[in-house]
Amino acid sequence: MRLLLLACVGVWACCVGVAGQGTSRSGRVVYLNQHLYPSLLYINSAAGSTAVDSTRAADGDSNIIQLILYPATSDPPPARNATVVLGGGTAEGKLTLTQEEPPLGPTKIEGVITGLTPGKHGFHIHELGNLVGGCVSAAGHYNPYRRTHGSPMNIDRHVGDLGNIEADATGTAHVNIIDPLVRLVGPRSVIGRAVVVHEGEDDLGQGGDEGSLSTGNAGGRVACGVIGHA
């Protein structure tokens, strides 16, 4: 029975995906296919509305579906907000994260970071919100789908790959990023994880070596902070 249910869900998700794009609030299905990541099928359990955040598997052969239930409501989910206070190194700053249309909408990351050397600096979300041992305790890039490191514009990338920020001659960087993979709700939420600023430029996976495909060769960590509810 369980296998049959999973098979039916997979077929249903593929079928509704063909129907086109829309929103669960208007009675249509949202089917997003711009990223090669496992699907997230959101079901409003009481009202029966659905939304699909769907992408094909890495090998292109099949879809992976996750079912997530959330309480029924007649209104769209409210915007979610988070904040990060950066420190722990030579740089410092504060960031705010806003997801205007959860659970599927993109997240905006904005703020100001000071104390940097002029130029580009790798900017990532790391897996752990553990800073007991300094920024190194945050572990590696947040990568729940086990992809290689890349540009935030790439299909194949870590969820935490946010590219570079650029500091001016005074060492100040103004951050203004909108990212389609970063979420503040659901099983892949980044709340409780860490933002890390690196001393060097992220080569975006184009460096031609193993380090490039895992870290972008961005060097040491000059600031970090845990993403918390705002």
Active site residue 158: yes
Shortest CA distance to 204 belongs to which of 165, 151, 131, 154? 151
Q: What is the pLDDT of residue 110?
A: 98
Q: What are phi and psi of 228, to 5 degrees?
A: -125, 160
pLDDT(23) > 90: no
- Give the chain's mean pLDDT: 79
Q: Residues 53, 161, 179, 202: which is the catalytic one?
A: 161
Domain 80-229 indexed as CATH 2.60.40.200 = yes
Q: Residues 126, 157, 183, 193: which is the catalytic one?
A: 126
- Partners of residue 43 on adjacent β-strands: 50, 69
Q: Residues 80, 149, 157, 193: which is the catalytic one?
A: 149
**pTM for this entry:** 0.75
Calpha distance 196→127 (Å, rounded): 10
Q: What is the pLDDT of residue 150?
A: 96
Shortest CA distance to 221 belongs to which of 94, 89, 109, 85? 89
Calpha distance 114→122 (Å, rounded): 14
Active site residue 161: yes
Active site residue 149: yes
Q: Residues 124, 157, 188, 193: which is the catalytic one?
A: 124
The distance of Cα 177 from the centroid of its chain, to the nearest Å, equals 12
156 C-beta neighbours (distance < 10 Å), count: 16
Query: DSSP character for 141?
Result: B
Q: Residues 80, 198, 202, 203: which is the catalytic one?
A: 198
Mean per-residue pLDDT for 68-87?
A: 81
Sheet (strand 31-32) strand order? 31-32, 50-53, 39-44, 65-70
Share of the chain above pLDDT 90, in %: 62
Max avg pLDDT among 17-26, 32-41, 45-54, 121-130: 121-130
Active site residue 35: no
Q: Where are the alpha helices (DSSP H) in the chain?
A: 2-18
For the chain, the domains span: 2-70, 80-229
Q: What is the pLDDT of residue 76?
A: 76
Calpha distance 126→139 (Å, rounded): 6
Active site residue 124: yes
Q: What is the pLDDT of residue 74?
A: 63
Q: Residues 56, 80, 157, 158: which is the catalytic one?
A: 158
